[in-house]
Structure 1
Amino acid sequence: MSADDIIALPGQPGKHARRAVVEAWQAAGSPRVNSAGRLYGEQKRLYDGWARRLSGFSPADNPDAPWLPLAHVRFVALDIDPTPARIAALTRAGLVRPYSYEPWHWQLPGDVRRFALVTAIPASANATPFNPVEDDMFTDADRELLKDVQNRIRGPKSDIDMLQDILSASAETRMRVRGGRPEVDMLQDILGRVGGTVVDVDEAALAVELAPALAPYLASNLGTLSDESIAALATAAADEQDRRARGRLEQ
């Protein structure tokens, strides 16, 4: 374990810095961090966008200029909103603000060019678990609200969520509409319960009625129809019969 190791900032998801910086930040009370280490590739993207004067890009340092400090790309800098209390605490912890025009920028003292530019986050950097106790971005009321929202979406049990309920309800609805058997549907059941005329599917008559429309297609494709296609045609025919039965009821 070295002070130069890159590790995650506890309670600051997605933010990393060298261990020496993280420990100084923790000694200062772990204030909220707006920006920490920045990979070479991201700095290069920001610089190239600015150099080409692309919309949405601000002035950025060239990561290929060896004379520049590039503290963020070396993972030895943090951007933290300055308050009198934070300034005092971070200064006591050993961090410095080298630029008067960037009062939010804190870094290790000395020539930071002694640290290498970082091109990738090492796998070991994420070994530090997220600790909500150290996260000062949320109050207890915020956490209770978040828990309530999660419960509403996922339910009280973590293995049951709203999506599962929707899928189950959808499957149940399909069973009620089509029935456990494909030849029985909810329309037939309703008609029977209210004393209406139960409309049976007359497959022979339906075949005669559909034959003129299907003949040209079947003549050229009958030998290529799969069992799935035949089943789909049968289902479509049954659905059409149901639609017509509903139309007669509405008249």
Structure 2
Amino acid sequence: MDGQGRSRTTATAERAGTWHHALSLEGVSREYGRGVVALHPIHLTVPRGRFLAVMGPSGCGKSTLLQCAAGLDRPTAGTVRIGGTELSSLKEAALTRLRRERIGFVFQAHHLVPSLSVAENVALPLLLGRRTVGDRALRGLAAVGLEDRGDASPSELSGGQCQRVAIARALVTAPDIVFADEPTGALDPAAAEEVLALLREAVDREGHTVVMVTHDPFAAAWADEALFLMRGRLVGRQERPDAADIRRFLKDLGVGTA
């Protein structure tokens, strides 16, 4: 089959939802100048409708893994696929469009635009993509319990509420996958639990796929599976992780937890 035929097949399969994996990494590694290896070859598949937590000490490669998987950084070697799309095959404009339309992002800092209203912040990915907004932003706010705050400014919300808005924004395009980088790192325990419950609900009720980087065993315990990195290598994984088991595993690795 020629390249054009493969491209048509891939597009058809993605529209039909027949790609079973939301994310696939095959031998993905990342090196920086002077032989600094941030990530040794990683092989990983994340099925659709899965909540995955990635854990490990500072400098272990968690953020590098997320950045390569999300197309924010290009790996030195290996392939990354979102659905059936190989990221290395995309030019920068197409990669930007894929990130905007098919990937959702939630970071430790919510990155809301202060000059926009809460509803406008949620609708921003739709507006950038020149897609019809309609009431999708308001439905997204309702899903995170903030349907009455659409006209508010981000400065009028608490940190936990801002992070809930960030989740609504990440989900508004119905993305293939959501990447969350320490989404509860700046929140108090009550607000953190609300945010984690929303991510869990997005997976269980809507079938979204979430990959979350975290240092917190409590946060990782909300996931279906926890992966553990050390010095850029995948060193373990736990199905249906429990916070106490995670702490024991990290202790065995010589990693302290808060």
Structure 1 or 2: more strand by fraction: 2
Higher relative contact order (CA 8 A, sep 6+): 2
TM-score, reference length from structure 1: 0.21
Structure 1 or 2: more helix by fraction: 1
TM-score, reference length from structure 2: 0.21
Higher Rg of the two aligned structures: 1
